[in-house]
Structure 1
Amino acid sequence: MQRKRNRKNRNRTLHIGLMAVLLSASYTTTGNTGWAASGGSNTATSAHTSFGQAGTRTADRETESHHHHHAHEEGQKQAASVQWSFSPEQPQAGERTAIQLAIVDAHGQPVKSFARNHEKEIHLIAVSGDLTEFQHLHPVDQGAGRFTVDTVFPKGGKYKLFADFIPAGGSHQVAETEFEAGGKTAASEPLVPDKQLVQTVAGTQVSLLTSQLQAGRETALAFSFKDAKTGKPVQDMEPYLGAAGHVVIISENLNHYLHVHPKEGQTAGPEAIFETGFPAPGLYKVWGQFQRHGDNFVTSFTIKVGE
């Protein structure tokens, strides 16, 4: 009987009832995380940019927030789709690239109205094929279902883009595309699980604690924050785009994408708890975006999920 009560308590702890919505941010370089969040300036292309067709249009998906997060897996269908284009047509490493998204409905007509989610209409995640580079952008609405944003890809090679959006009156959707950036490539870094899930970024020590990492099971991810100088738990964390933090999780093979947010009310610290579920075993990269003293920052961890 005591074991049953303990099991109930553990289950109750895991069901923290988190809201997941979309994140945010433009880029600055931070450590080895590649692009990092920056609440400063979103750069966007002008309406006069000439776009060439490029990239590989892949499956768009409609997702349910079964685990109170946005998740998507390759091959899922959805009501709207994205037509991707780049200028220049072949993105080059180290050079500014304009990305355009044209969003159309099932009849090929432009989707002209979107629900704002965490203060933005579209959240665009870009990662390199080896997951060493990460960027979170907000394309700017140019009208008639078209959104544009500028970025720089730091090295040549494979990249994948994930666009999160909600058509007005519809449900959350994720569209994706893959492409190759020209220019000098760097040796791919093999993805290995971190031995210690602790990082110090922007004067804050961030630790990641996890419950059982097993595919198909609900998992709690707890980020705790300490001041890097004093070692004391911090109580001055700040909301970032309407939430205590934002977490993006992508599998090693790039097939699984999760976007999670914590429950409302968790803002000041010293921890932020997220709840999600991993669709398959394997290695995953976890990026967390948080804000303190007016500066937002990114942490990244690699974890292994069992069967």
Structure 2
Amino acid sequence: MFASTRPAVRRRALAVAGTAAALALTLAACGSSNDGSSSMPGMDHGAKSSASASAKATPSMGDMPGMDHMADGNGLTDNKDGYRLTSKDTTLAAGKQAAYRFTVNGPDGKPVTDFAVDQPKRMHFYAIRSDLTGFQHLHPTMAADGTWTADLDTLAPGAWRMFASFTPDSGAGKGTAFVLSRTVSVPGTETKTPLPAAAKTAEVDGYTITVKGEPMARMAHPMTVTVTKDGKPVTDLQPYLDTYAHLTAFHEGDTAFAHLHPTTKVNGDHGGPELSFNAELPTSGNWRLFLQFLTGGKLHTAALTLNVG
């Protein structure tokens, strides 16, 4: 009896696993090229608009843009599977721009220099203060010896976490997405900003961002982001990093990292007003979301707090 039922059980288990895999949203950040990219200046919780930077994007015609490889974990470690994020920079000066230098060492202990190009960069770098202010997303440059330099904008005093997201293109970790991080101290008098209450809307540079959906921890759930301006739907979103939006999330309390990409097909400079996501966040509680999108060659960053049950 058990021999006859075992194949059916196995088929059902595989079907369930396949469905879950199809729904799961990539939580890995994409990589960055050697070419430097504009950083995002620090954002205070109370600000309704972000500083913007010019950006040039390359359209992608894939059916599922931005769905990169799955990265295990929440980014709150400097090592995984033999790969280690290393840096001599443990403190950075407050109130001025700073260069953060780091390397990614492989299982052999040597700096990795071969990284896969994805969206269409080889390294994404994120800086976030412990109270989830000061978000910066930039694309560092790599020297021939594997040393990366991230040119950070002004940092406020406090504890910061620096995230590096990458995919090795050779070696034991080839094709595996990693998100590793280290903490940095910025000396000075720290003034913590309370996290704004959970909300479904945010404003930035005259645009209104509205989020629909009720994500649950560890469960894939549809989520829609709508972009409007002056009450009218926005339909001129431009491709940014091969998709119409770049959404990064950090968990309140531990700054755990998650990265979400829209499943909306890219079709030239005609994105919006709705962007669809399959949101899967690993932990319940409040998450601070930073949505970046491009219009008229200008990059906008909206921030809002999302409560995950």
2:30 pairs, out of 22, 28, 34, with 22
Distance in 2 separating the partners of 1:271 and 1:111: 39
Distance in 2 separating the partners of 1:129 and 1:245: 24
Q: CA deviation at 1:189?
A: 2.1
Aligned to 1:265: 265
For the 8 Å contact 2:218–2:282, the answer to whether it is kept is: yes
Spell out the pairing of 1:153-168 with structure 2 (5 A cutoff).
Answer: 153-168=154-169
Aligned to 2:218: 216
TM-aligned CA distance change 1:248 to 1:118, over 3 Å: same
Distance in 2 separating the partners of 1:199 and 1:304: 14
Aligned to 2:285: 282
Spell out the pairing of 1:1-307 with structure 2 (5 A cutoff).
Answer: 22=30, 25-28=38-41, 32=46, 38-40=53-55, 70=71, 72-73=73-74, 74=76, 77-86=80-89, 90-169=91-170, 170=174, 171-186=176-191, 188-194=192-198, 196-210=199-213, 212-228=214-230, 231-263=231-263, 265-266=265-266, 268-306=271-309
**SS at structure 2 position matched to 1:125:** strand
TM-aligned CA distance change 1:142 to 1:67, over 3 Å: closer
Q: CA deviation at 1:114?
A: 0.6
For the 8 Å contact 1:127–1:135, the answer to whether it is kept is: yes
Q: CA deviation at 1:39?
A: 3.8
Q: CA deviation at 1:249?
A: 0.8
Distance in 1 separating the partners of 2:91 and 2:288: 27
Distance in 1 separating the partners of 2:207 and 2:67: 32
Distance in 1 separating the partners of 2:264 and 2:38: 20
- List gaps (5 residues or longer) in structure 1: 1-11, 42-64
Distance in 1 separating the partners of 2:247 and 2:222: 12
Distance in 1 separating the partners of 2:184 and 2:118: 27
| Over 4 Å off, 4+ runs | 15-21, 33-37, 65-71
Q: CA deviation at 1:149?
A: 2.0
Given the two structures, how large is their TM-score scaled by the length of structure 2?
Answer: 0.76
TM-aligned CA distance change 1:270 to 1:66, over 3 Å: closer
Given the two structures, how large is their TM-score scaled by the length of structure 1?
Answer: 0.76
Higher strand share: 1
TM-aligned CA distance change 1:107 to 1:124, over 3 Å: same
Q: CA deviation at 1:35?
A: 7.0
For the 8 Å contact 1:69–1:261, the answer to whether it is kept is: no
Deviation digits for residues 148-202 of structure 1 (CA, Å, limit 9, x no counterpart): 122234310110111001111411111101121012322x1222432x4222222
Q: Percent identity?
A: 25
Looking at both structures, which has the greater relative contact order when contacts are Cα pairs under 8 Å and sequence separation is at least 6?
2
Distance in 2 separating the partners of 1:192 and 1:29: 16
**SS at structure 2 position matched to 1:27:** coil
For the 8 Å contact 1:205–1:225, the answer to whether it is kept is: yes
- List gaps (5 residues or longer) in structure 2: 1-18, 32-36, 57-65
TM-aligned CA distance change 1:40 to 1:66, over 3 Å: closer
Distance in 2 separating the partners of 1:218 and 1:260: 11
Count matched residues: 264
